Amino acid sequence: MSNLIRHMVIKIQQFNGSNQQRNQALAELVEQILRTRKVCRPRPGHPLSGIYLEIYQTVQQQLNHKLEEAIDSRYLQITSDQEWASWRDSVFKKVLDEGRLQQLALEAQRHQLNTPERFYALTELLNAIKLSGKLYHRGKFSPEVYDDAVNLTLYYVYQNLNHYNREKGKFIAWVNYRLNKMLQKAQQDLTDPFIQAQSGKIVRIKYQLIALIKNTKLDHVIVWITLTIKGLITNKTDAGNVTKILIVLFLLCQLIAKDRTTGDSLVFEMAKATLPLPANLSELTGESLTIETVAQPETELTLYDQVRHYFKEDPENLLQKHIKNHPEATLQVIGLAYLDGKKWQEISDSLGIKISSLNNFFQRNLRKLAPEIKRYIEEELD
């Protein structure tokens, strides 16, 4: 990029034409500098509009003004790509104030979950947050701890943006509140030998998963599906499971390529899920210590414990719906049995109801209630 920009700068500096032509050349230089911008990038096949266009045009105007003042400097002829990018980002940082971040958040909230529009708006929002300089500064925390906390915070925003209520405060204050909690927890974890040992395993598993994901190609998926269709894979259960795994790995590979922050956070959560909580610290540290002999801070309930507590207590009285003509077969009863590890056949035998009826009733109602359960658990955590 620098060679092209250098030629454009020299051309403008040597310009003998009219002011209109010089202004046009300046505008083209600004466009070139903005080509590699991190935010306000249009969706494929869609022009910029709304808040994205407003931010882009404001940055465009300010860059144009700055260049107009500095264009005759010989220094611009030797400016590197990194310096041009830093200059461009500094203008974005100034433009991305609290008000515009708020508008970006509300724009993302406006779109339905799991739609291309929502994904685009969230990606723009997260990139804008990182570029804005409005996040709490690192302070006493190490770069590694701070970066992890920021990534976890951005992932939380990605997953829970609809929980933000503009009536209760500014968007960036909501984000920084979450980041502050993440940093406090990270500081506590640094002094906990059990958590530190766990973290080491999680990080190793994460890197192993990322290596596996990045090596998964579409060709691998197609070859496996072709072999399955031709009947060359005789075990249908294994064939189906492997197909699903390959597809998931390929989709994760695509996600990491498009949105590294979200992809990394998701793989980190996957790595955590693979690590069961052992009874002994020695399994993690090699030391002959049990958890009972080590002073441990109060630990948070696992997600399983939180969900089971919700089903047991039914705090919002949403789990009393039952299968028709079977008042004893409530969503609460079926859910607790399922969470306690009972197989569908066991639940079917105890209630005298077909497995298909049980499964359909449970899955259908669980899909409807999942957002409410998620909201309740997160509010309890807050």
Residues 207 and 244 in one domain: yes
The sign of the CA dihedral 165, 170, 172, 173 is negative
Given a cut of 90, is residue 126 above it in pLDDT? yes
| pLDDT value for 157 | 92
Confidence of residue 243 (pLDDT cuts 50, 70, 90): confident
| pLDDT value for 280 | 32
* Tokens found for residue 272: 């955590």
Residues 113 and 129 in one domain: yes
Q: Are strands 322-323 and 326-330 parallel, antiparallel or unpaired?
A: antiparallel
Is the distance from CB of 136 to CB of 183 less than 8 angstroms? yes
- 296 domain-assigned: no
Confidence of residue 239 (pLDDT cuts 50, 70, 90): low
Residues 102 and 82 in one domain: no
- 194 domain-assigned: no
- 298 domain-assigned: no
Give the integer Cα–Cα distance in Å for 171 and 164: 7
Q: Which residue has the tokens 């009733």?
A: 361
* Tens-place pLDDT, residues 358-381: 888 888 888 888 888 777 776 665
| pLDDT value for 104 | 96
Residues 184 and 217 in one domain: no
Say how many domains are in the chain: 4
* Tokens found for residue 302: 């696992």
Residues 274 and 217 in one domain: yes
Is the distance from CB of 208 to CB of 274 less than 8 angstroms? no
* Tens-place pLDDT, residues 268-319: 777 766 655 433 333 333 333 222 222 333 334 556 667 778 888 888 888 9
Neighbours of 46 (CB within 10 A): 11
H helices of 314-354, in order, are: 331-339, 344-351
Residue at which a domain ends, from 247, 266, 291: 291
Residues 249 and 178 in one domain: no
Domain range for residue 55?
Answer: 2-95
* Tokens found for residue 104: 């970006």
* Tens-place pLDDT, residues 67-116: 887 776 766 666 777 887 888 999 999 999 999 999 999 999 999 988 88
Residue at which a domain ends, from 265, 291, 317: 291
- What are the CA-CA distances from residue 280 to residues 107, 273, 294, 351 (Å)? 48, 18, 10, 39
φ, ψ of residue 71 in degrees (nearest 5): -60, -25
Is the distance from CB of 131 to CB of 93 less than 8 angstroms? yes
Percent of the chain with pLDDT over 90: 22
Confidence of residue 238 (pLDDT cuts 50, 70, 90): low
Residues 249 and 209 in one domain: yes
* Tens-place pLDDT, residues 175-191: 999 998 888 877 766 66
Q: Residue 105, exposed/middle/buried by CB under 10 A (0-12, 13-18, 19+)?
A: buried
Q: Which of 6-15, 163-172, 223-232, 326-335 has the lowest mean pLDDT?
A: 223-232
φ, ψ of residue 322 in degrees (nearest 5): -130, 165
Residues 103 and 88 in one domain: no
Residues 90 and 105 in one domain: no
CATH classification of the domain holding 142: 1.10.1740
- 41 domain-assigned: yes
- 363 domain-assigned: yes
Is the distance from CB of 281 to CB of 197 less than 8 angstroms? yes
Residues 130 and 180 in one domain: yes
Element holding 327 (H helix, E strand): strand 326-330
- Helix and strand numbers, DSSP H then E, in the chain: 17, 2
- 297 domain-assigned: no
Residues 106 and 70 in one domain: no
**Residue 361 CB contacts under 8 Å (≥ 6 apart), including other chains:** 323, 329, 331, 334
- 54 domain-assigned: yes
Residues 285 and 351 in one domain: no
Classify residue 286 as left (phi > 0), alpha (psi -120 to 50) or beta.
Answer: left
Give the integer Cα–Cα distance in Å for 16 and 34: 26
Give this prediction's pTM.
0.54
Among the listed residues 87, 107, 98, 86, the one whose alpha carbon sits nearest the alpha carbon of residue 40: 107
Residue at which a domain ends, from 126, 155, 189: 189
